[in-house]
Amino acid sequence: MACQLLLTDFTLPLKSLKLSHSGRRLKGRSIGSQKASTTVAYYGLKTPPYNLDDLEPYMSKRALEVHWGVHHRDFVDNLNKQLGKSDILYGYTMDELVKATYNNGNPLPEFNNAAEVWNHDFFWESMQPGGGDRPNLGLLEQIENDFGSFANFRETFVEAALSLFGSGWVWLVLKRQEKRLAVVKTSNSINPIVWDDIPILNLDMWEHAYYLDYKNDKARYISTFMNHLVSWNAATIRMARAEAFVNLGEPKIPIA
Ligand SMILES: [Fe+2]
């Protein structure tokens, strides 16, 4: 249940549905003489926790209008269309849906859209106006423990982003079993919760994430993320929740 707690803020599906008394979804079925309506609407498009021009000049309003307003919206819409075809995946939280549709490495058709919705919700919250700099003390100490220094972590993260082939994501995760932080990169839509890692940060390395502002200069996009956009506040909160789950010993970060 760890991931559910970690991700509680953005995993609740929107259920603007007409339900039977038993709570099951109805699709044009009749109950006695009463025709039940076909139900629609599952997951909503979450709004970033800032205005679309708040990340300028490092990420432009235009880039967010396209990235969030078109690409992210398409993932949500396409997921909802897929889910509308069957009752089987009804009622899952987003992280349950991602894990279920990953299907132990044999992904179901819904996986890519579900994971991309999850990944983008998490990405918007991994940035903030006035971001960058360094983590807060407790998280900084954990990074120094697991990477040797903050500079080493940064170098590892940047190298992973630069060396990622094709489209994908770079993540700072807490490895649940090893109880240590690690940088991982994933191809296309894959989200490390499918391997039971607990995400702390992510960076979108799909071309649509950087092309409008940085053309093909991935290095400048990545360094700008690290210097001006990354939200160590969000990472600190996520780390505190993750620590509570994996029991790293004495918590370094007080949980509010
Ligand atoms: Fe994206």
- Cα-to-centroid distance, 32 and ligand 1 (Å): 46
Residue 44 domain-assigned (yes or no): no
Residue 234 domain-assigned (yes or no): yes
Q: For residue range 104-156, list pLDDT tens digits in order.
A: 999 999 999 999 999 999 999 999 999 999 998 889 999 999 999 999 999 99
204 is in an annotated binding site: yes
- Cα-to-centroid distance, 14 and ligand 1 (Å): 22
- Cα-to-centroid distance, 136 and ligand 1 (Å): 27
Residue 23 domain-assigned (yes or no): no
224-241: average pLDDT: 96
With a pLDDT cut of 90, the percent of the chain lying above it is: 73
Residue 91 domain-assigned (yes or no): yes
Q: pLDDT band for position 249 (50/70/90)?
A: low
Domains in the chain, number: 1
Residue 144 domain-assigned (yes or no): yes
CATH number for the domain including 78? 3.55.40.20
How far from each other are the two terminal CA atoms of the chain, in whole angstroms?
20
Residue 47 domain-assigned (yes or no): no
- Cα-to-centroid distance, 177 and ligand 1 (Å): 29
- Cα-to-centroid distance, 209 and ligand 1 (Å): 5
Q: pLDDT band for position 245 (50/70/90)?
A: confident
Q: Which of 48, 47, 28 is nearest to 39 (CA)?
A: 28
228 is in an annotated binding site: no
Q: For residue range 67-86, list pLDDT tens digits in order.
A: 999 999 999 999 999 999 88
208 is in an annotated binding site: yes
Give the lowest-confidence range in 15-19, 92-96, 182-186, 231-235. 15-19
* Count of beta carbons in the 10 Å neighbourhood of residue 173: 22
**Total-model pTM:** 0.82
Domain that holds residue 81: 61-246
Q: For residue range 4-43, list pLDDT tens digits in order.
A: 323 333 333 433 333 222 233 333 333 333 334 444 458 9
Q: What is d(CA 10, CA 64) in angstroms, rounded to the nearest whole number?
A: 19
* Count of beta carbons in the 10 Å neighbourhood of residue 17: 16
Q: For residue range 191-207, list pLDDT tens digits in order.
A: 999 999 999 999 999 99
Q: Which uninterrupted H or E stretch holds 200?
A: strand 198-204
Residue 11 domain-assigned (yes or no): no
Residue 22 domain-assigned (yes or no): no
Q: List the structure tokens of 35.
A: 């025709």
- Cα-to-centroid distance, 100 and ligand 1 (Å): 22
Q: What is d(CA 39, CA 110) in angstroms, rounded to the nearest whole number?
A: 18
DSSP character at residue 67: I
